[in-house]
Amino acid sequence: MLAPSLLAADFGNLEKEMSWFNQSRADWLHLDIMDGVFVPNISFGFPVLKAVARLCQKPLDVHLMIVQPEKFIGEVKALGAYMMNVHYEACPHLHRVLGQIHEAGMKAGVTLNPSTPVCVLEDIIQDADMVLLMSVNPGFGGQKFIEHTIDKVKSLRSLIERTGSHALIEIDGGVNMETGRRLREAGADVLVAGSAVFGAPDPLKAAADLASL
Ligand code: DX5
Ligand code: ZN
């Protein structure tokens, strides 16, 4: 599956971006919300995303790179989001937060920074619908893929198999045709790609190529 990240889109022409996107082979639209505290950057907030949600006909995969993401469950739900991803590093009471996301009627994803090992998921994997492994340090698009992520995908795949969890594996950062192919081989289910799709000369073709990996 493919979830192109809006972060690399032309914000001056969101209507045009969403019109090709709706016709593309992408499965979900990935939305990166930043607060300038959890990550050293700020992207876009809910007023902008409301406009995007109106234009987008595919499920929304919302990635919150913010402290206390549980404060915004209502806002994410109001967008009509399918999946809400919170960072493990931002949630001391992760089990409660995943429960609150489920109660709101959304799928719940747990995100790990590159420096957080997969083994911390041991006691939460049964409650997660997805694990989002960051393959760059979150906050910016267009960064170089961190190679160690391939090993993390393999460890996560064996944790999922061993525990009988239904969680999907999603990877975010530096994904292109080359890294994407290796990630799929290692066991990734969903690839996020910003610059490799919205920044491509032919985004429709780029989405089709990445979706077919
Ligand atoms: C990074 C974001 C990513 C970003 C990926 O903080 O979470 O979703 O948009 O961008 P690329 O694909 O350009 O690395
Ligand atoms: Zn993201």
The predicted-structure confidence for 21-61, as pLDDT tens digits, reads as follows 999 999 999 999 999 999 999 999 999 999 999 999 999 99
Enter the pTM of the model: 0.98
For a mutational test of ligand 1's pocket, the pick from 2, 5, 60, i.e. the residue with the most ligand atoms closer than 8 A to its C-beta, is 5
Low-confidence residues of the chain: pLDDT under 50: none
**149 CB within 6 A, ligand 1:** no
Ligand nearest to the CA of 143: 1
Q: Is 129 a catalytic residue?
A: no
**32 CB within 6 A, ligand 1:** yes
Sign of the torsion formed by the C-alpha atoms of 139, 141, 147 and 152: positive
pLDDT for 180: 98
**210 CB within 6 A, ligand 1:** no
**133 CB within 6 A, ligand 1:** no
**For residue 110, how far is its CA from the centre of ligand 2 (angstroms)?**
12
pLDDT for 97: 99
**129 CB within 6 A, ligand 1:** no
Two tokens, residue 47: 């007023």
Q: Is 189 a catalytic residue?
A: no
Sign of the torsion formed by the C-alpha atoms of 20, 59, 136 and 15: positive
pLDDT for 43: 98
What are the start-end ranges of the H helices in 79-148? 94-103
Average pLDDT over the chain, rounded to an integer = 98
What is d(CA 204, CA 213) in angstroms, rounded to the nearest whole number? 15
pLDDT for 70: 98
Q: Which position among 10, 172, 189, 202 bears the catalytic label?
A: 172
**For residue 32, how far is its CA from the centre of ligand 2 (angstroms)?**
5
**69 CB within 6 A, ligand 1:** no
DSSP-derived pairing of the beta strands 130-134 and 2-4: unpaired
* Ligand 1 atom closest to Cα of residue 30: 8
Q: DSSP letters along 133-183, please? A: EESS-TT-SSPPP-TTHHHHHHHHHHHHHHHT---EEEEESS--HHHHHHH
CA dist 35 to 63, 73, 79, 111, 146, Å?
12, 15, 18, 16, 23
